[in-house]
A and B are shown apart, each in its own frame.
Chain A
Amino acid sequence: MPVIARSLDDALAPIVDGCVLAIPRESTGVAMAATRALIRRGVKRLKLVALPTTSLQADLLVGAGCVESIETSAVSLGEFGPAPRFTAAILKGAIRMKDATCPALHAAFQASEKGVPFMPLRGLIGSDVLKHRADWKVMDNPFDENDPIVLLPAIKPDVTLFHAPMADRNGNVWIGRQRELVTMAHASERTVVTVENLYDGDLLADRTLAAGTLPGFYVEQVAVVERGGWPLPLPEHYAWDGEHLAEYARLATTEDGFKKYLDKYVYERQAA
């Protein structure tokens, strides 16, 4: 049974060096406080899988040297521009990129969710995305003739990490409309969640809340971290901190600026 962790660091224990870590897109609930804690701990060689895109979270982890590879369909800071540390790392060849397309990631997580080895998907044939994915295959639809279709192997992450509005003491996590968080948890070996606050009572006992709840059965660790998504948004709770993201985009353009950002906002060292 999941427990409410005593500290954020305790909750993050399942995220070990070299693990396959699934993270969600920035509009659904990204565990940013947890990400800063992982950088402080010095986590290494993460194999990130971002469903289906990622922004500041991956850029920070890449810049801080925590990442070996990323599988996703886009990395950018959205309206704040390109993801500077990701871009620099790709141009230097410092990380391995597994370029995908959004529905391929959704489908591959669903394969894991169902316990099947692969999922077919339309599209992709003739693209260089497919050409550069030796792990994706094309076969003929066995139910028809002359109908090639792409097969995607199931994605089975070691750990899924996200941030949500609330959890109860049984480890049930309310995710609301952000249903892909459920898919990620179903597909992963373990799931670590940070939440804004604890719900007094049983989320599954309330019919309205139960429909938007990830059962504690799938959850390994829960830590309470108020504003744990900052500076990214948490749906219906808070928006982007635009000023902060603009500052990040500016600083992270250079390695020196990025170090200053880490010192100030991740290591929280006082300026010398």
Chain B
Amino acid sequence: MTPNEAPFRDEELLAAVVADLIGDVRHVAVGNASPIPATAALLARTRGNGRPYVSLLGSPKHTFFTDGGRELFDCAGQGRIDVFFLSGGEIDGEGNVNLVSVGDYEKPIARFPGSFGSSYLYFVVPKVILFRTEHSKRTLVPKVSFISAPGGSADNVRRTGGPIALITNRCLFSFDRTRRRFRLESVHPGHTLDEVIANTGFAFEQPPIVPITPVPSAETLRLMREVVAPELAEVYPQFAAKVFAVRKSA
């Protein structure tokens, strides 16, 4: 650590990386139970002086929708959502996501909640960022048991969206849609390439020298802690209290 680098938490590093992946867009939507993507989306909005629009599902205050649950999907179908986040019980090297079950579908050995909107949003949201904080051979597998949402599609299938990256607690991968493969972009500080290889169930591309994920700048940390955290506490009180020591205002 150089003298101008402040200490930071893992969640802050991941949120800063995701905020950079979001880029300059108009509308970011974040699903339920996604505090780190929500932090990143609010950080992007703070940096952009109110742009992009951020829709945090499950928070009436942070969604503008007035046409029921379908409005999010109608918005996405028209190309009005630029970025979305997906996780998965299993994710494989072709970017396939499994949110349903492990083993034979008719006689599963493990069952997850279900596909939610993934089987649709993965096709129509241009930048889908995959997010999995447990980076292990159990979660990043050679082939998923059940495809809730496929990483790629046949040429004649209309598809404007798909995965652009996979971020884990250990590293950042980008996704090459043409080759349908992940490429290791950087390894987070405190983690190693050997560790990433040992804990990943699929093969991936890697540059000759793998960079270390850049740490969040002092300004990024300040924005997250002073501006984003109090807003986040409205939606994710437990997360905001744990990571930013911010309590929901009465």
Q: How many A-B residue pairs have CB under 8 A?
A: 137
Are B147 and A126 closer than 8 Å at their CB atoms? yes
Residue B118 at the A interface, CB < 8 A? yes
Determine how close the nearest CB of chain B comes to the CB of A102; give it in whole angstroms.
4
Q: C-beta contact mask, A71-91 vs B, less than 8 Å → 1, else 0?
A: 011111011001100110011
Are A101 and B117 closer than 8 Å at their CB atoms? yes
Interface footprint category on A: 35 or more
Are A103 and B105 closer than 8 Å at their CB atoms? no
Residue B208 at the A interface, CB < 8 A? no
Chain A, range 9-59, C-beta contacts under 8 Å to B: 25, 27-28, 51-53
Q: C-beta contact mask, B66-110 vs A, less than 8 Å → 1, else 0?
A: 111110010011000000000000000000000111000111111
Are B77 and A122 closer than 8 Å at their CB atoms? yes
Are B77 and A103 closer than 8 Å at their CB atoms? yes
Q: What is the number of residues of chain B that contact chain A, defined by CB distance less than 8 Å?
A: 46
The segment from A154-162, A177-185, A223-231, A247-255 found at the interface with B is A177-185
Picked from A82, A87, A101, A180, the residue with its CB within 8 Å of the CB of B119 is: A101
Picked from B110, B120, B153, B156, the residue with its CB within 8 Å of the CB of A102 is: B120
How long is the Cα–Cα vector from A130 to B150 in the complex, in angstroms? 11
Determine how close the nearest CB of chain A comes to the CB of B176; give it in whole angstroms.
18
* A93-B148 contact, Cβ under 8 Å, with A25-B69, A128-B100: no
* A104-B120 contact, Cβ under 8 Å, with A25-B69, A90-B108, A99-B114: yes
On chain B, the residues within 8 Å of A147 by CB distance are 156, 158
Interface centre among B66, B101, B119, B148 (most CB of A within 10 A): B119
Q: C-beta contact mask, B145-156 vs A, less than 8 Å → 1, else 0?
A: 011111001101
Are A73 and B115 closer than 8 Å at their CB atoms? yes
Are B121 and A123 closer than 8 Å at their CB atoms? yes
How long is the Cα–Cα vector from A16 to B250 in the complex, in angstroms? 45
Are B123 and A183 closer than 8 Å at their CB atoms? no
Determine how close the nearest CB of chain B comes to the CB of A175; give it in whole angstroms.
9
* A101-B69 contact, Cβ under 8 Å, with A93-B107, A122-B124, A123-B122: no
Residue A137 at the B interface, CB < 8 A? no
Picked from B66, B108, B115, the residue with its CB within 8 Å of the CB of A91 is: B108
Determine how close the nearest CB of chain A comes to the CB of B169; give it in whole angstroms.
19
On chain B, the residues within 8 Å of A103 by CB distance are 70, 73, 76-77, 117, 120
Interface centre among A72, A102, A183 (most CB of B within 10 A): A102
Are B116 and A122 closer than 8 Å at their CB atoms? no
How long is the Cα–Cα vector from A53 to B72 in the complex, in angstroms? 15
Are B70 and A106 closer than 8 Å at their CB atoms? yes
* A82-B100 contact, Cβ under 8 Å, with A27-B58, A103-B77, A129-B119: no
Determine how close the nearest CB of chain A comes to the CB of B240; give it in whole angstroms.
14
Chain A, range 86-112, C-beta contacts under 8 Å to B: 86-87, 90-91, 93, 99-104, 106-107, 110
